[in-house]
Amino acid sequence: MKKKATPESRREFMIKAGTVAMATPLLFSSEVHAAPTKLRHACIGVGGMGWGDLQQFKKHANVEIIALCDVDEKNLKRAADFAPGARTYTDWRELFKAEAANLDSVNVSVPDHNHFPIAVEAIRLKKHVYCQKPMCHDVAEVRALTKAAVKMGVTTQLGTQIASGTGDRTAVQLIKQGIIGKIKHAYLCSNRPGAVAKYRLVGPRPTETHEVPAHLHWDQWLGTAPVRPYAPDIYHPAIWRTWQDFGTGWSGDIGCHIFDAVWKGLGMKAPLSVIAEVQKSWQESPARRADTWPQGNHITWQFPGNALTESSTFQAEWFDGEFYPPQEIRALYKDGEYPAESAMLIGTEGALLIPHQKMPVVIPFTNGKIKDHTLPTLTDRNHYHHFVDACLGGEKTESHFAQSGPMTEAVLLGTVAIRVPDQLLEWDSVKMKFPNYPAAEKYLRRDYRKGWEVS
């Protein structure tokens, strides 16, 4: 028979849970109740990435798609045709109101600015949550969502699909084995060809007025963000990441993918500081700095070291757009063009290149001594199905929020640094403060639009 929790023991538990939620990485998770044999699932956001997410969940034999939600009725119709029998909604709040008793899990595949209110409401209802990266728009939201997930004991998964692949999981094991000696430095980059022109608009916002299409519920699309007029092909469906009100820029979007194996392999914790260098034309334009993200960033974090690093601190750098890893680092890779999206770890005995979506490459130094090793025998996992299986009582997910939340915080601290370029920000993770530059703290959280507040 379980001992009934006293007020004192419950209070002690909450203090401990809050403390662990502020430390990084978070290491525990628990189930709410006995797992069902069939997962009753709702897809919130079924266009773009959400369309792919729906297809993946529907492929699982033990998933029943019972509800669909999207603010774009064209997306919703396509999804309803694909998952006949699922009830449809254009407002996620109405979905939860009507389906709370029927649901086991949801996926949140909408623009970044609405991740938190949807995901935290699902968790408060004790529903399992699969959420697209970068988990939330703001650092404070990530912290709150991570703590809520741990407190409620639900199964969670961040949409870092590559984390379940053989390449990233192999890289994690090699890092943990210390194959290239003690780690000295990490160089992360996303210089995807064509991405700047296609996804990172210069601005400004359109000034002309456009009628909102009949199939689009624009106010619901805006959600927590400030009101602005609709404009075609500028926000919905795919270019919203350009704008600070909605997205987290290129580093916020892709950073969680590139950081993941390095973070897990090294067992990283909250950074000590962060600083950003940005595209000069953006930095010199007050209008752009107030509304869009720059088209190029170079972010540097200082992390506490550990048994796997060479010193008591460890530096990681991010490059995108017009910023590239140093030529001498790229030159270490001799087998073709340096991967446009990748992480390069520099150790005392060699280097480890982790190309995005590919197998890692060990690069010995001339006078280095690479440790004897055997590659782990791994097979690709389906990131979505791994989440489903975990919800149904299987092993813990690869990117549960207790693991991926602290990493996302670090990535989003980079976006805060972008807003105050060239300013070193010292980070107090427990207090969530920049002791040396409090003016930047306003970028840790947003004020939600009236009617969309979250308690």
Annotated domain spans of the chain: 39-163, 170-379+400-443
pLDDT band at 168 (very low <50, low <70, confident <90, very high): very high
pLDDT reading at 30 higher than 80: no
List, in order, residues 6 or more apart from 245 with CB less than 8 Å away.
Answer: 113, 225, 226, 228, 291
- Given a contact cutoff of 8 angstroms between Cβ atoms, the answer to whether 390 and 30 are in contact is no
Separation between Cα atoms, residue 240 and residue 113, nearest integer Å: 10
- Given a contact cutoff of 8 angstroms between Cβ atoms, the answer to whether 317 and 300 are in contact is yes
pLDDT reading at 448 higher than 80: yes
pLDDT reading at 14 higher than 50: no
Separation between Cα atoms, residue 174 and residue 357, nearest integer Å: 16
405: nearest Cα among 7, 24, 45, 14: 24
pLDDT reading at 114 higher than 60: yes
Instruction: State the average pLDDT over residues 2-9.
Output: 36
Q: Which backbone phi and psi does 300 adopt, to 5 degrees? A: -125, 125
Instruction: State the average pLDDT over residues 32-56.
Output: 88
CATH fold, domain 170-379+400-443, is: Dihydrodipicolinate Reductase; domain 2 (3.30.360)
10 Å Cβ neighbour count for 83?
A: 21
pLDDT at 2: 34
Instruction: State the average pLDDT over residues 361-379.
Output: 83
- Given a contact cutoff of 8 angstroms between Cβ atoms, the answer to whether 361 and 335 are in contact is yes
**Weakest-pLDDT range from 231-240, 283-292, 331-340:** 231-240
Separation between Cα atoms, residue 248 and residue 264, nearest integer Å: 22
**Weakest-pLDDT range from 4-8, 173-177, 326-330:** 4-8
pLDDT band at 17 (very low <50, low <70, confident <90, very high): very low
Q: Residue type for 190, please? A: S
Residue 443 buriedness (CB in 10 A; 0-12 / 13-18 / 19+): buried
pLDDT reading at 26 higher than 70: no
Give the percent of the chain with pLDDT over 70. 92
pLDDT reading at 150 higher than 50: yes
Answer with the residue of higher pLDDT: 17 or 362.
362
In this structure, what DSSP letter does residue 407 have? H
**Where do runs of H (alpha helix) occur along 153-266?**
166-177, 195-199, 218-222, 249-266
Separation between Cα atoms, residue 24 and residue 271, nearest integer Å: 10
pLDDT band at 34 (very low <50, low <70, confident <90, very high): low
155: nearest Cα among 132, 134, 133, 130: 130
The rounded Cα 68 to chain-centroid distance in angstroms is: 23
pLDDT reading at 10 higher than 90: no
List, in order, residues 6 or more apart from 7 with CB less than 8 Å away.
Answer: none
Give the percent of the chain with pLDDT over 90. 84
- pTM for the model stands at 0.91
pLDDT band at 5 (very low <50, low <70, confident <90, very high): very low
Instruction: State the average pLDDT over residues 18-45.
Output: 61
pLDDT band at 31 (very low <50, low <70, confident <90, very high): very low
Complete edge-to-edge strand list for the sheet that includes strand 350-355: 361-364, 350-355, 341-347, 183-190, 313-320, 297-304, 273-278, 425-426
The domains spanning 39-163 and 170-379+400-443 adopt the same CATH topology? no
Answer with the residue of higher pLDDT: 198 or 7.
198
pLDDT band at 24 (very low <50, low <70, confident <90, very high): very low
**Weakest-pLDDT range from 20-29, 90-99, 346-355:** 20-29
pLDDT at 377: 85
Instruction: State the average pLDDT over residues 440-446.
Output: 98
Q: What is the mean pLDDT of the chain?
A: 91
pLDDT reading at 341 higher than 80: yes
pLDDT at 36: 67
Residue 310 buriedness (CB in 10 A; 0-12 / 13-18 / 19+): middle
Tens-digit pLDDT profile for residues 239-293: 999 999 999 999 999 999 999 999 999 999 999 999 999 999 999 999 999 999 9
Strand partners, 364: 350
pLDDT at 369: 82
- Superfamily of segment(s) 39-163: NAD(P)-binding Rossmann-like Domain (3.40.50.720)
